Amino acid sequence: MPSLQSEPAWLESPATAFDSSLQQPIQTSERIKPLQIGKLTLPNNLVLAPMAGVTDGSFRLLCARLGAGFTISELASAKAITMKSRQTIDMVRFQGQARPYAVQLFGADPKIMARAAAFIEELQICDAIDINMGCPVPKVVKTGAGSALMKTPELAATLVKAVKQAVSLPVTIKCRIGWSENSINVRDFVKTVVDAGAEAVTVHARTRQAGYSGTAQWHHLEGIKDICGPVPFIANGDISSPEHVSQLYERTGCDGYMIGRGCVGKPWLFSQLLGHDYFLDHKIQWKIFRHHLIDMLMEHGPTAVPLFRVHLFGYLKSHANAARLRHALCNERNPEVVLQTGHDFFST
């Protein structure tokens, strides 16, 4: 894959159809390479993390356009899917043109999880089903779902088996290193879900107790690859640079890298990790910013500007007056004002 010479059409025309060419690494290496998940071949092993309120259709499409080899929906309630909730189905359906793509389901009832997964497969909107075993939010945990499954590995295994029986798509899981610092059980847990048939395993190197705070504990990811055997192991937590990718590979021998907050306000990180330096130019980054907001306006209508805020503050993070700007823009609803702010920032 030669380095990019001319501007991709979507930068000027957000409605341009998805084109997978930037997902090819310029050069494959032992770190960055295609990845096989069951019958699914990913063009590369850089995965956009599922993030509720962040990875809507527009952001998934943008990251895939910029090279992410796999994207995952925000967590979706299996129960809401089985009840045909319009809002939940729209959430996982929009911008499904960016492939490969997985829908992430949460739940603790094997029958409901299986029914939801079968319905999603029928819609033909995705290439895999991911089961959430890491969400720390009390509303989710108190139902036995999300990271509560780290305390009930047998139920986690039952969910994997039930979903696998219901669909022909690959079934993957995403978990944490444990429930609390006193109960780190990631090794046994991963063995249990792999034995149950999980076709890829992503581990976020924090406990439920840690939430999203502190530093990811990469040392707990060491040895997981051996437990997974031929099943792909994807490392997650605090990856935001090519150096992090190298360090994680050296330490864990992982098969892939999942990136969350590191690409918020920096979606070109995927292209950078693949070796394309084209998007590091500020003039091009301004066009990415503009494309992102316009695409969100197309997806969400008038609520796009408040929903864009998390990205806006990410894009402006290195601004000399970032704190003042955050304060000034925290209630802004006019897209023109937001566009002008982005334009001014990327032109200086």
Q: Give residues in contact with ligand FMN (CB under 6 A).
A: 49-54, 74-75, 104, 132, 134-135, 174, 204, 212, 236-239, 259-262
Q: Establish whether 263 is a catalytic residue.
A: no
Instruction: Please tell me the distance from the alpha carbon of residue 268 to that of residue 199, in angstroms, as a whole number.
Output: 28
Of 31 and 261, nearer to ligand FMN (C-beta) is 261
With residue 71 as reference, give the H or E element that holds it: strand 70-72
CB 156 within 8 A of CB 162: no
We find the least distance from the C-beta atom of residue 72 to ligand FMN, in angstroms, to be: 7
We find the least distance from the C-beta atom of residue 55 to ligand FMN, in angstroms, to be: 8
We find the least distance from the C-beta atom of residue 258 to ligand FMN, in angstroms, to be: 7
Instruction: Please tell me the distance from the alpha carbon of residue 117 to that of residue 125, in angstroms, as a whole number.
Output: 11
With residue 207 as reference, give the H or E element that holds it: strand 201-207
Of 177 and 316, nearer to ligand FMN (C-beta) is 177
We find the least distance from the C-beta atom of residue 106 to ligand FMN, in angstroms, to be: 8
With residue 61 as reference, give the H or E element that holds it: helix 57-65
Instruction: Please tell me the distance from the alpha carbon of residue 317 to that of residue 46, in angstroms, as a whole number.
Output: 23
Phi/psi at 257 (5° precision) = -135, 130
Residue type, 153: P
Q: How far is CA 19 from CA 32, 184, 193, 346, in A?
A: 20, 41, 34, 26
Of 224 and 284, nearer to ligand FMN (C-beta) is 224
We find the least distance from the C-beta atom of residue 73 to ligand FMN, in angstroms, to be: 8
Of 174 and 208, nearer to ligand FMN (C-beta) is 174
Contacts of 40 (CB under 8 A, 6+ apart): 100, 127, 128, 169, 170
We find the least distance from the C-beta atom of residue 236 to ligand FMN, in angstroms, to be: 5
We find the least distance from the C-beta atom of residue 202 to ligand FMN, in angstroms, to be: 8
Q: How far is CA 64 from CA 22, 43, 97, 109, 135, in A?
A: 8, 11, 10, 32, 24
Contacts of 214 (CB under 8 A, 6+ apart): 206
Instruction: Please tell me the distance from the alpha carbon of residue 285 to that of residue 117, in angstroms, as a whole number.
Output: 37
Of 33 and 261, nearer to ligand FMN (C-beta) is 261
Of 38 and 262, nearer to ligand FMN (C-beta) is 262
Instruction: Please tell me the distance from the alpha carbon of residue 32 to that of residue 118, in angstroms, as a whole number.
Output: 32
Of 13 and 214, nearer to ligand FMN (C-beta) is 214
Residue type, 112: I
Set 63, 126, 135, 254: catalytic member: 135
Q: Which of 273, 284, 307 shows the shortest CA–CA distance to 91?
A: 307
Residues serving a catalytic function are 135
